[in-house]
Structure 1
Amino acid sequence: MIFEVWAPQATSVEIETMGGRQPLRPDSSSGWWSVDVPAAGHGTDYRYLVDGAGPYPDPRSRRQPEGIFGPSRVYDHARFTWSDHEWKGRDLRGSVIYELHIGTFTTEGTFTAALERLDHLVELGVDFVEVMPVAPVPGGRNWGYDGVDLYAVNETYGGPDGLKEFVDGCHRAGLGVLLDVVYNHLGPSGNFLHPFGPYFAGYSGSFWGEAVNLDGPGSDEVRRYFVDNALQWLRDFHIDGLRLDAVHALHDRRATHLLAELAQEVDALACSVGRPLTLIAESDLNDPRMIMPLEAGGLGMTAQWNDDVHHALHTAVSGERHGYYEDFASMRSLAKAMTSGFVHDGGYSSFRGRSHGAPLAGVPGYRLVCCLQNHDQIGNRPAGDRLTATALKLGAGLLLTSPFTPMLFMGEEWGARTPFLFFTDHVEPALREGEGERRAREFEGFGYEWVAPDPSAEDTFQRSKLDWSEIKEEEHWSVLCWYRDLIALRKALPELTDPRLDRVEAEYDEQAKWLMVKRSSLSVMVNFCPDPVTLPMSVGSVLLSSEEGVFAARDGLTVPGQTLVIYRSDVNP
């Protein structure tokens, strides 16, 4: 077997494997080193020494059975037997996404245990499962954004075979799989890329860590490292798409941005494998070029997360006004979010102290992935607390009847009471003891009184696990039925998946706190106040209501307090 590693600045590279060491031969023109170890194969452990230092895991390690500080292990993708031969992929258009964290989705926290809950997701009606990062992390618990050894899979969850079995099972159930990947930084613990080459730019790229070298000397191979990683998940693990974490923290001044290069490569792979492949960027830039096609001068992302819709929904259903929510605390902002996508489309952002964004002219709504809750918006709160059942019903009613691609966060569909807290398990004492303080500094200025549990405590992690027994309780069952009905209605009525933003209209009353979103002959009416309100409506019928007590009167439709109604007006043929 031939071992290869990129180390352009090294004077010597050795491999430690099978009880001995031997040198690798350099290719001076490319910076790659290689050696043939005939006796090695699937399951062989190995590590590298660079200029006598180490040993270190392989930067492209496919498996880390003993964790981030242990040896790499040879893993042969061809040894896994797939059963998803009939799977033709799933298009993002018209789909609903369900985000989950493998470690807290079930009590066991494994891919195998998550498979046992797929029937629930199928009955809910979602189309994609989005899995938070699975790269190896320090210790046994983490959100996943402290990942290193980016080509490997966390052994705590089940390793590479476990992920493949999960994807295979999702495909058999008719569910696509999206994987969250982090290319803007690496975790602070177990990051051994520095000795191998110029993987980093030499300055802080974000609050989370050192900037990746995407445009400096040696960056050709660094970019290839991340592009090849993306292709591995889509090709070798049969993943249907990637969610790219915080792309605004990618520092790239090249004429062809890394995202555009990635989009080209993924388009080519989609042609090869014969199924659609999706790229979703997390970006707070509100820049339409992110989701414009390459041929139109854009970066070619299929879609992007859109926080503006979340913020507008959250303020409306929760009443919170602190931090960045201040710019969204009006019916006017909510109406703009539901009809235009971006609230900040060139206007002033008080949180940033400057103008922000650009209009989404001509961009279809499905290219915006929008949510009422996600791992950040819950987990970045000190107590990791979720919305109430009433707030969920109102917010989900607007989200799941919107022209955007809706995304739910695990447990939201039944109004889970378990928090989703920030948790880590760093090995180094300095990182472990300082994590809580670092977390508090990250959210200075957000308006929170930062009283949070210790991120390193195991109890913080255990409390974040979903309690599936809640579904049996009447209040939670009611919320679950509401979500199922909303998703079923969305799939039944073409007006609700129509992505054309110019066909969405909204009316509102700032003082009375009601909003009406119109989709052709459909109207989605929300009364956020505790008192009933009567809205002028033509003759028609109620298709769905979050509460009882809706009735038609001569002067219109009376909607009880804190209620959402989906109404169809009679249309003459």
Structure 2
Amino acid sequence: MIFEVWAPTVTAVELDVPGGRRPMSPGQDGWWSAAVPEAGHGTRYGFVLDGDGPYPDPRSRWQPEGIFGPSAVYDHAHFTWTDHGWKGRDLRGSVIYELHIGTFTTEGTFEAAAEKLQHLTELGVDLVEIMPVAPVPGSRNWGYDGVDLYAVNHTYGGPDGLKTLVDACHQAGLGVILDVVYNHLGPSGNFLHPFGPYFSGFAGSYWGEAVNLDGPGSDVVRRYFIDNALQWLRDYHVDGLRLDAVHALHDRRATHLLAELSDEVDVLSCSVGRPLTLIAESDLNDPRMVRSRDADGYGMTAQWNDDVHHALHTAVSGEHHGYYADFAGLSALAKVLTSGVMHDGGHSSFRGRAHGRSFAGVPGHRLVACLQNHDQIGNRPMGDRLPIPELKLGAGLLLTSPFTPMLFMGEEWGARAPFLFFSDHVDPELRDSEGGRRQREFEGFGYAWEAPDPSEEETFLRSKLDWSELKDEEHWSLLCWYRDLTALRRALPELSDPRLDRVRVDHDPDDRWLVMRRGSLAVSVNFSPESLTLPIPLGVVLLASDENMSETPEGARLPGQSLVIHRPDT
């Protein structure tokens, strides 16, 4: 077997393997290599740089003893796939379900998650989005402190475990999107610095040092991230990637890393014969993110759309602190449902400046929208979720909107478990300071910050879903509501039509009602706790959150906090 590593700034590299250290030979452009014929699947190894180390392989595929242990050889041919007939899953018309492996089940493993796939197929989900699985410090983490980006967290089940889950998803007809983090690496166990110029030398974001995408040596660094993305799509049969916080990628090159990645993924898609999806999390509200490469865009398939979340959350909850301030009032919800974004060049009070550009001409399926996700729940001090009445209204609008809807684990039955911020840093200083760091991150967000200690195991355990809640009538009823909504979305083309210019919205900010028209269909919502008569005939009711809907000469009579999908007789 040939071992290779890029280390352009050192004078000597040794390979540490069972039996001792072996010198590596220098090659071109800072690459070193060594042949070890007896090495194979499972062989432990590391690299010694100018006498320091051993360090894990920057491209380690397997860290069976965690981030501070040796790397292990992983042969992708060691796993036997059964998804040979899988043709992929297109994002268009799909419903996404986001989950965190560690808290989705009591066991917190890939194997246990695979046992819940029937629940997801019956819910009407098309794509499962898995929060980051790269190795992290300790035994519990959201995943955004990952290092050893080519490996898979051993506490979840390692590389074979992830493949087993992807294989099972495909057998169930579900595509898989994997959340990856390329804008920074975790603060503990990051051993890339000794190997070469992987970082730019300045804080790229609140979360860490910027990666080197445009400075000296950045050709290989860019390749490090592009090859990583291709690994998940090719070797793990993943159907798409969600790229974390791409606004924190500092790249001044003429061709942005995302555009380069888009081109490479298109080539791979042609090779494997199935659609491959790239979803960017971007805070820029820049339509170039999702415009095609031939239109001088970055070529992302879609991007997360926080504006839709903020408008929905404000409408159903009444909150208007922090970044929700610009979304107070139903006019904001009306705007995002018809324009895609709220901030399209106007003033953002939270940022104190103008923000965004118009998304005119961008189809709605390129905007991934949600009522809840890991950030919007977990960034609240107590990780609290929306109550069931608010979920009913929000889900009714989300799943009939022109966007690609995304649900967050447990939302579909109104899970009581919070989703708190948790970590398990081994470094005592990081462990002790994590709570304070988290509080500082959200200064100015309008929260009275009284959060559980993220380092306590109980914080993590409280965030695990309680599947026994499905035995309760209230939770089962909400699950049926979500199932009915996804089924209706799939059955009626008007509800998945992504053309934003075909959406019409009427609303009354004082009486707090809104009507969204999708072709001949209407989605009428009464946000008020009082019964209201809307100036629209009820007609044929297809789905209602409350059976006490009625017709009056003036229009449809809706009980307080209710939603109805109907075909008015007009």
Give the paired residue count: 570
Structure 1 residue 276 corresponds to structure 2 residue 297: no
Structure 1 residue 147 corresponds to structure 2 residue 184: no
> How far 1:539 sits from its partner (Å)?
6.4
What's 2:462 paired with? 463
**In structure 1, distance between residues paired with 2:423 and 2:538:** 56
Q: Which amino acid letter does the alignment assign opposite residue 292 of structure 1?
A: R
What's 1:19 paired with? 19
Structure 1 residue 336 corresponds to structure 2 residue 359: no
RMSD between superposed Cα atoms in Å: 0.7
Structure 1 residue 70 corresponds to structure 2 residue 69: yes
CA contact (8 A) 2:144 2:181 kept: yes
**In structure 2, distance between residues paired with 1:505 and 1:539:** 17
**In structure 1, distance between residues paired with 2:541 and 2:529:** 20
- For residue 542 of structure 2, give the secondary structure of its aligned residue in structure 1: strand
Structure 1 segments unaligned to the other structure (5+ residues): none
CA contact (8 A) 2:311 2:328 kept: yes
- For residue 30 of structure 1, give the secondary structure of its aligned residue in structure 2: helix
- For residue 449 of structure 1, give the secondary structure of its aligned residue in structure 2: coil
> How far 1:535 sits from its partner (Å)?
1.3
What's 1:523 paired with? 522
**In structure 1, distance between residues paired with 2:148 and 2:113:** 23
Q: How do residues 474-553 of structure 1 correspond to structure 2 at under 5 angstroms? A: 474-538=473-537, 540-553=539-552
Structure 1 residue 85 corresponds to structure 2 residue 101: no
CA contact (8 A) 1:127 1:175 kept: yes
Q: Which amino acid letter does the alignment assign opposite residue 281 of structure 2?
A: E
> How far 1:19 sits from its partner (Å)?
2.1
* TM-score (ref. length: structure 2): 0.99
Q: Deviations over 1:436-472 (max 9, x none)?
A: 0000000000000000000000000000000000011
> How far 1:570 sits from its partner (Å)?
3.7
What's 1:6 paired with? 6
Q: How do residues 55-454 of structure 1 correspond to structure 2 at under 5 angstroms? A: 55-454=54-453
- For residue 66 of structure 1, give the secondary structure of its aligned residue in structure 2: coil
> How far 1:548 sits from its partner (Å)?
2.0
> How far 1:560 sits from its partner (Å)?
0.8
**In structure 2, distance between residues paired with 1:145 and 1:537:** 47
**In structure 1, distance between residues paired with 2:115 and 2:39:** 36
CA contact (8 A) 2:513 2:534 kept: no
Q: Which amino acid letter does the alignment assign opposite residue 323 of structure 1?
A: G
Q: Deviations over 1:313-366 (max 9, x none)?
A: 001111111100000011100100111110000100000000000001111000
> Structure 1 stretch 471-480 or stretch 530-539: which is displaced more?
530-539
* TM-score (ref. length: structure 1): 0.99
Q: Which amino acid letter does the alignment assign opposite residue 39 of structure 1?
A: E
Q: Which amino acid letter does the alignment assign opposite residue 532 of structure 2?
A: V
CA contact (8 A) 2:185 2:208 kept: yes
**In structure 1, distance between residues paired with 2:67 and 2:203:** 23
Q: Which amino acid letter does the alignment assign opposite residue 476 of structure 1?
A: H
- For residue 381 of structure 1, give the secondary structure of its aligned residue in structure 2: coil
**In structure 2, distance between residues paired with 1:459 and 1:79:** 37
> How far 1:538 sits from its partner (Å)?
4.0
CA contact (8 A) 2:281 2:303 kept: yes
CA contact (8 A) 2:103 2:465 kept: yes
Structure 2 segments unaligned to the other structure (5+ residues): none
**In structure 1, distance between residues paired with 2:94 and 2:2:** 43
**In structure 2, distance between residues paired with 1:319 and 1:471:** 28
Q: Percent identity?
A: 76
**In structure 2, distance between residues paired with 1:158 and 1:4:** 26
What's 1:36 paired with? 35
> How far 1:79 sits from its partner (Å)?
1.3
**In structure 1, distance between residues paired with 2:140 and 2:175:** 25
CA contact (8 A) 2:290 2:299 kept: yes
Q: Deviations over 1:82-114 (max 9, x none)?
A: 000000000000000000000000000000000
> How far 1:51 sits from its partner (Å)?
1.1
Q: Which amino acid letter does the alignment assign opposite residue 16 of structure 2?
A: E
CA contact (8 A) 1:521 1:570 kept: no
> How far 1:167 sits from its partner (Å)?
0.2
**In structure 2, distance between residues paired with 1:285 and 1:564:** 32
> How far 1:569 sits from its partner (Å)?
2.2
Q: Deviations over 1:233-282 (max 9, x none)?
A: 00000000000000000000000000000000000000000000000000
